[in-house]
Structure formats: C-alpha cells, structure tokens
Amino acid sequence: MKFLLKTAIAERRISPPENLLRMSQPKIKRRIGKYEIGRTIGEGTFAKVKFAKNSETGQPVALKILDKDKVLKHKMAEQIRREIATMKLIKHPNVVRLYEVMASKTKIFIVMEFVTGGELFDNIVNHGRMQEDDARKYFQQLINAVDYCHSRGVFHRDLKPENLLLDDAGNLKVSDFGLSALSQTVRDDGLLHTTCGTPNYVAPEVLNDRGYDGATADLWSCGVILFVLLSGYLPFDDENLSNLYSKISSAEFTCPPWLSFGAMKLIARILEPNPMKRITIPEILEDEWFKKGYKAPIFDEKEDTNLDDVEAVFKDSKEHLVMEKKEEQPTAMNAFELISLSKGLNLGNLFDAEQEFKRETRFTSKRPANEIIKKIEQAAKPLGFDVHKKNYKMRLENMKAGRKGNLNVATEVFQVAPSLHMVEVRKAKGDTLEFHKFYKNLSTCLEDVVWKTEEEMKEMS
C-alpha cells in the first residue's frame, strides 16, 4: 500500500527477573504526590510521559515530566506557564484534558487524561483508507476541537494522525494541543515565525519564513489529515525535502478517483496555498459535505478551574513542591499495570499472537529474562543497531539516520508469573513506519523465543 511505503508520518522499560530468586529482589517504585508512577508511554525533546495512577481515586492518568534545567536553559518557563494555564481552561470532549500541574525541585509534572484507544495513525496503518462516513466523523470532531481551541488563542502547530488519539468509545481526542511546540513565540506583528511540525503536514506559509497565522496553518494540517483518512496516503510526499516543499508551496496534489465530488471540493478549499484565500472554519461548518450527519458537541464548561497550582509551580513556591518518593516493591508486574496494558481493559487481548502494528508492541516468552535480553541483542546488532543495556532494559539505536533521524527502540522485560515474561518493544524516537519494519525483522529472529500456545503450534505444523 502506498501509505505504508511512503508515509513519513517514545521508550518502554525492561525489568523483571529470570527466576524465583530474582523475584524476591526489590524494585524501586516511584510516587509523585498522590500519583503512583508506572511505565514510560512517550518521549519527546523536552519531556517524558509516564503512565500513572491517582492513589486516592484509582484514576489512570498520563504524567508529562519536564526537566526544569532544560526549561530554563531554553528560556521557556514563561511560555510554558501560559500554555499550561490556558490548557487548564480547555474542557472539550475532543481534546485531551489537563488536570493539574505539580513540581519538585528539579521537575515539572503535568497531569493529563489517559486515553486508551490508541492513535488514529495506527487505524490507518492497519486498515488503510476509511469510508467517507467514518472519515467525516473524525474530521468533524477534529474541526470541533481545533475551532474551540483557536477561540481561546491556543494553536497546535503540529497536527498529524500521531497526535490524534481515540478513547475507548472510538471518539477522537487531540493530544498535545498547545504543548507540542513550546519554543515558539508570537512577534510584534502578531505572527509566528518558527518553522515546525512534521514536513508533510506543514502549511506553505510556515515554510516561507515570513510569518504565519497559527489558525490558518492548523487548518491546512487538518486538510492533509482529511486527505490521508480518505485516501490512505499523503497528498504531498517526496524523498527530497526541496521537492517536497515545492509541492506543498504550489499545492501540487491529485485526489484519488474514489473520492466524492463534495470531499474533493472541500479538500481543495482547505489545501489552498494562499492563507488569505483558504477556507475558514465557519465556512467549513457550512459546507454540505461536512454537515452530513454532523452533531455539535454538547459539554459543560461551567466547572471551576483553579490556576493556583500553575502559579505556584512557576513561582517555585517551596510550600507547594511535591516530594518524589521511592518505594520498594517486587519486580513482578502487578495487576494494575497488567490491566493498563490491555486493549479496552480486556485481559484476553493482552497476549494476542497477531498484534496490529503501532509505535509499540509486546510478546510473551517462557524463556529466562537474561536469555530474552541476549536474543534481542543478537538480533538487533546485525540490523545496524547499537545496543545499550541496563539490567532488564535495553535501548537500541540505529546508527543510520532515517527520515526522522535515528530510530531508537526501547524494550523492557516484565515478569507476569515465575515462568512467564512479557516483553515490550517500543519506538522511543524516529519514524513510526521504520519501527514497524524493524519489528517485523526482529520478530523473525525471535521466533524460538516467543511463547506459542498448543493451538498455535498445531497450526504451524
């Protein structure tokens, strides 16, 4: 499929023991305030995202952790403060919620909604293009979210399928809205001047370095996303960046023949290279193709929002600093962590042999943990990866740069039972599709390590 071949569209851990003796050894468990910290679920330039649980309510959350020294070094403190304060005010059903912010002496902790349905990107990779009704539903939710945030002065600047999550009901949730491009500022002319985002989704005015309006630039990215949903591939793509920028600047694309006239017309009006002539969101809301089956979101914005925690964090108020506590616990994965990994909280799906590809995947093995680590290392090195080991964690770095830099893969071994381990393999950095290709090669090399049921063994014989 062209999308899989062409699309240019974050680290887990490895820790458990290989036998009962090792299982008795303690593992350090972190706690930040009332939150129990679990595995790493994402990683960016300035932040790492951890899975966590509110110990008072049992609610799962995503905890974004920023290093204060990096924030100060890049002179980002005031802008991050404004972004976080604004995001706390945004309570839209199609935007990931920001609950609260905390700080220790060295870190800033942003507590956000944990979304369980995966990325919209994975849906496209696994199933290809969507039917128009399905694509329209997601696009309507995307426009609702973007319109709401723009009305509050918040611009995303890096909209792409990887930043669009799905909840357990299949509803779209925009992530990192207002937090994905923290180093950018608006100059006196009222325009942004930093080129950012994933090249294939970036608007022409962002590339020409003469300043751009965040709202119209976000809308262009929405148009590219709609094209991808309906076609299964990118409207603008080229191995050569100069050629890619030329195609974007002139809006050089062709709609596939299976699109309806209404969809083609709307895409053409959004992917207008002149931002002054580009369709606006109010005009999109009146478009006949867009309006089909449209239901305006109903939600309550009256909930009071307290910004005291934001001010306290950035004033470095000692009385509001949280303590980072470390507790000793067995290395075996507990039920809370196990359930959090399963699809829709259904443990029956946790160890499926045929998993759909995404930026993370996992398999089970009855081999000792040390042997699993050794096998992964032996398989990764011939594929051009440099291997860094720390106990039962590994970080694999491809020595050759890909489309989005060097592919980094993180793995971790968890002990589910004395003789059963679960191995997580996750993209920490680089291109998602390159990770898919790597995992296919890796899985071929690990066929004798992966545990298979008797039924699977019979099917193979």
What is the per-residue pLDDT across 335-366, written as a single tens digit (0 to 9) for each? Answer: 445 545 544 333 333 334 444 445 667 778 88
Q: pTM value?
A: 0.66
Average pLDDT, stretch 268-293?
94
Residue 48 lies in a domain: no
Q: Which of 228, 261, 291 is the last residue of a domain?
A: 291
Confidence of residue 17 (pLDDT cuts 50, 70, 90): very low
Confidence of residue 12 (pLDDT cuts 50, 70, 90): very low
pLDDT of 155 reads 84
Per-residue pLDDT at 332 exceeds 50: no
- Residue whose structure tokens are 């003469």: 210
Residue 409 lies in a domain: yes
Choose the weakest-confidence range: 19-28, 99-108, 428-437.
19-28
Task: Find the CATH number of the domain harbouring 427.
Answer: 3.30.310.80
Per-residue pLDDT at 281 exceeds 70: yes
Residue 83 lies in a domain: no
pLDDT of 307 reads 72
27 is in an annotated binding site: no
Of 207-216, 266-275, 379-388, which one has max mean pLDDT? 266-275
Contact present, 118 and 140 (Cβ < 8 Å): no
**Residues 287, 384 within the same domain:** no
Average pLDDT, stretch 385-411?
80
Question: What distance in Å separates the CA atoms of residue 431 and residue 217, rounded to the nearest whole number?
Answer: 23
**Residues 274, 343 within the same domain:** no
What stretch of H or E contains 224? Answer: helix 214-231
Residue 368 lies in a domain: yes
Question: What distance in Å separates the CA atoms of residue 200 and residue 331, rounded to the nearest whole number?
Answer: 43
Q: CA 177, 355, 123: angle at the middle one, nearest 5?
A: 40
Residue 213 lies in a domain: yes
Question: What distance in Å separates the CA atoms of residue 427 and residue 276, rounded to the nearest whole number?
Answer: 39
Confidence of residue 317 (pLDDT cuts 50, 70, 90): low
Tell me how far the alpha carbon of residue 48 is from its chain's centroid.
Answer: 11
Contact present, 331 and 415 (Cβ < 8 Å): yes
Residue 278 lies in a domain: yes
List, by residue number, the catalytic residues.
Answer: 158
Q: Which of 234, 259, 291 is the last residue of a domain?
A: 291
Domain that holds residue 154: 120-291
> What average pLDDT does the chain have?
76
